[in-house]
Amino acid sequence: MTPSPPAFPRKRDAPVSSSCLRLKLPAAGMECRDVPAETLYDVLHDIEYRKKWDTNVIETFDIGRLTANSDVGYYAWRCPKPLKNRDVVTLRSWLPMGSDYIIMNYSVKHPKYPPRKDMVRAVSIQTGYLIEGTGTKSCTITYLAQVDPKGSLPKWVVNKSSQFLAPKAMKKMYKACLKYPEWKQKHDPHFKPWLYPEQSRLPALALSELSLQHADSLENIDESSLAESKEDRGEGSDEDSLT
């Protein structure tokens, strides 16, 4: 595994305000040895497995399907303390291309899932993965994220996101891929609706039920003066294990 941490340009001593700057991470790449492209693709799709390996997730679930290769889902995640946690509702689409795969998403509004009082509703402007098979048991992944976190963020959040959190998340995902085949054998091994759409148990959604989520329609939260909590200052261990 060879991660390529993204750089994050910033002005010294300046908070990051979503009203003037959206978090746009340059493409982060990683080489995954001993991981077939199809396994990585499965891991990114399998929502039940994500609840096992993604320690940042608070709640995630699929809302409904639009087509054979697109759906709408909800994802809430923990932010470094004392920032408020964020959530998104996104329309996701995917496309297998032989040994390569693409997954993309962007934020939408769904009438049954408005912003919550205990979360800050963020906006995925464009987020995606490109998986390229490089052999029978190897692949590369490129990750691109352009997200509006809604609010003014302190500079330590920018530093931590680019220098530590993003690379650690990629490494954790790689470890999850290595353990996925064994886990999947014990958890509904033949259920993969992202490959076999006829297996989908999601209710059908009409595109007319959705609308594009514009960032300027959501409240901005000023968190620029918040200091990082002591318990979150350490980088923690990379030896995270799946249970």
Task: Quote the pLDDT of residue 84.
Answer: 87
* 176/174 Cα distance (integer angstroms): 5
Task: Quote the pLDDT of residue 156.
Answer: 61
Task: Quote the pLDDT of residue 20.
Answer: 34
Within 13 Å of residue 31, how many CA atoms lie on the same side as its CB? 5
Dig out the tokens for 9 from the structure.
Answer: 């340009």
**Phi, psi of 217, deg, nearest 5:** -90, -5
Q: Which residue has the tokens 């995640």?
A: 77
Domains and CATH numbers, the chain: 2-9+24-184 (3.30.530.20)
* 219/222 Cα distance (integer angstroms): 10
Q: Which residue has the tokens 């590369």?
A: 140
> Per-residue confidence of the chain (243 residues) as pLDDT tens digits?
544 333 323 333 333 433 334 555 556 789 999 999 999 999 999 999 999 999 999 999 999 999 999 999 999 999 877 788 999 999 999 999 999 999 999 999 999 999 999 999 999 999 999 999 999 999 999 988 888 888 776 666 655 555 445 667 888 999 999 999 999 999 999 999 999 999 999 999 999 999 999 888 887 766 665 566 555 555 444 444 464
The string of DSSP letters for 21-70 reads: --EEEEEEEEEEET--HHHHHHHHH-HHHHHHH-TTEEEEEEEEEEETTE
Task: Quote the pLDDT of residue 214.
Answer: 87
Task: Quote the pLDDT of residue 21.
Answer: 40
